[in-house]
A and B are shown apart, each in its own frame.
Chain A
Amino acid sequence: MSLLDVQNVTKTFGGLTAVNDVTFQVPERSIISVIGPNGAGKTTFFNLITGIYTPDTGNIKLGGRELIGLRPDQVVEAGISRTFQNIRLFPSMTAEENIMLGRGVRLKSGYWDAILRSSKFKHDEQEAVDTARLMLDFVGLSKWRNELSTSLPYGDQRKLEIARALATTPKLILLDEPAAGMNPRETEDLKALIRAIRDELGVTVVLIEHDMRLVMTLSEYITVLNYGSKLSEGLPHEVRNDPAVMEAYLGRGTAAGEYGKEAQA
């Protein structure tokens, strides 16, 4: 059974159909990529899954549980967390605090416990600190623990976002262009990290990415969106050789042929 099950989802903004009748399935413990030219509706698609937008029609289920109608924070609780195309860390907080914030959703003490400083509250704070350390270690950012999040190097800020998302103990993590702005070495590190997320933590990964080398070597399955509709899907080599995909990326004619050669090389 698939972990995430998106059935015939459509979302329009005024006259624009941003996501058009998309069906999308994510098997448990898989690494799936969503690709497509700019403006294809990829981020809108993530926003529909995470509850920022409500689809006009269609169904979204996580492990059989209906997600439509849930607020974003309830979707996180259900087990989906994400990172952002443009980094959205909390700048006034340290790396550790950012992760502790993400942990909040799994803690049981209420706000009154915080005000009254009950033992439950203290236990939870300690748990949040422990989780933060564990996650910083996992993504390799331990040395930045007490630094303000925005003082981290760019590539590390992306990793910190991943750590924060992981701290919510998700079943599924959505990564929106995780390699954007990274140099080839950082991208290699990222690839290893994403594999570790799946292999060591057992978290299913869906990523939006433009770095084709990363997508092709990392993904087990690829879905291609274009103008809001699903254009193609399949195994990496299938998608790479799909003429419709080449056309969407590069237009008709010889250019597509050139791309095909390059991609093969």
Chain B
Amino acid sequence: MSAFRLHNTGDQVDLQTVMTILLQVLVGGLSLGVLYAIVALGYTMVYGVLQLINFAHSEVFITGGIVGYFVFHALQDSSMNGYLKLVLACLAAMIVSGALNVVIERLAYRPLRGAQRLVPLITAIGVSLILQDTLKFVVGLTGMFDLSVTLPKGFTSPLTKFAGIDITSLNLQVKDVILLVVATLMLIGLNLLVNHTRLGRAIRAVAHDRQTAGLMGIDSNRIISLTFLIGGALGGLGGVMYAMKYQALNAYSGMAPGMKAFSAAVLGGIGSIPGAMLGGIVLGWVETLLGVVSLFSALPGLHWLSYIKAEYKDLGGFLALILILFIKPTGLLGKSSTEKV
């Protein structure tokens, strides 16, 4: 975190520097948060329709990242427009991850539909492990363990101006803004889909009561497949965004962010779509803030903050989760519902 530096002149701390750091947290946390949010949606939508925690989603997510790597790699020397390359990477990742998620549901979860809840849960963990090793094999074909992503030219350039205002101090690169814009558009699109279309109404109906939905003419298996398709595609897109943000990934990279995205879904209230979005953003902010909070130890009376090192940011995220669940067990936007039998 050498990017952040606070001018400490005795007890005099530069207020403007503090504001800059907070602004960096706001923007950086938001871009991390929307990334968590689009992955969290995959967990929450599947939970909504099946009351199943799809542990394989972290692999579905990183599959998207790996597909993204291959697309960027294949087009490395092409003179194609960088944004077009990105669009292709996103489309390919969304198709592969979406299809993968549908296949997982069809083969692993649907045959267990009538079983008690623990059975598909254990299956989900099993699918996650199988996918990890499959991905390791696929990544291994490149002869490397860690893939380093070559982004199109210009994506890593620093941003200096926005609407005529100098924003060099925000420490942003073009790719951060791309991530923010793409993910936000996806969240808005999904909201429209769920709240204002027939498919969305059908998804909400199946989530509430599969049998009644069926008696209103809705083929719930079809809706469940489509939910896995949408959740998987969002996960795949998240994978490309992850690959773009960190520019390095391997077959196991899905686990940590997957876990956090899942936490974000729980934080926002599992099963709630706006909850997953809010949970992701809150988690992104908390984590980012904790990553830089030690810098404020230069402020008078806050020297103890120097003990909160950036390495503890994950811990902080999960502490926030526990704290919020302690106060509101159903999550930020979760509704308390009676257990359905």
Interface residues of A (CB under 8 A from B): 50, 52, 71-74, 76-77, 81-82, 84, 88, 90-93, 97, 100-102, 104-105, 107, 109, 111, 114-115, 121, 124-125, 128, 164-165, 168
Contacts and interface: CB of A to CB of B under 8 A. Distances in A.
Closest 3 pairs between A and B when the two form their complex, measured CB to CB: A105-B217, A76-B217, A72-B214
A52 B212 CA distance: 10
Given A90-B208, A101-B205, A76 B216 contact: yes
Nearest to A46: B215
Given A107-B198, A121-B197, A125-B197, A101 B214 contact: no
19 contacts: A71-B214, A73-B214, A73-B217, A73-B220, A76-B215, A76-B216, A76-B217, A81-B217, A82-B215, A90-B208, A90-B212, A92-B208, A93-B204, A104-B216, A104-B218, A114-B193, A115-B193, A125-B197, A125-B198
B215 A92 contact: no
Nearest to B212: A88
Nearest to B217: A105
A92 B199 CA distance: 15
A72 B198 contact: no
Nearest to A103: B198
Interface string B193-231: 100011111101100110111111111100000100000
B212 A84 contact: yes
Given A52-B211, A101-B202, A73 B219 contact: yes
Contacts of A104: 198, 201-202, 216-218
A81 B214 CA distance: 11
A83 B214 CA distance: 12
Contact of B216 (A105, A107, A111): A105
Interface residues of B, number: 22
A111 B194 CA distance: 12
Interface of A is mostly: helix
Interface of B: 193, 197-202, 204-205, 208-209, 211-220, 226
Nearest to B214: A72
Given A72-B215, A82-B215, A168-B216, A88 B198 contact: no
B190 to A, nearest CB: 11
Query: Which of A72, A93, A168 has the most C-beta atoms of chain B within 10 angstroms of its own C-beta?
Result: A72
B209 A88 contact: yes
A111 B199 contact: yes
B198 A128 contact: yes
Given A52-B211, A73-B215, 14 more contacts: A52-B214, A73-B217, A73-B218, A73-B219, A76-B217, A88-B209, A90-B205, A90-B209, A91-B208, A93-B205, A104-B202, A105-B218, A109-B198, A111-B226
Contacts of B204: 90, 92-93
Contacts of A72: 211, 214-215
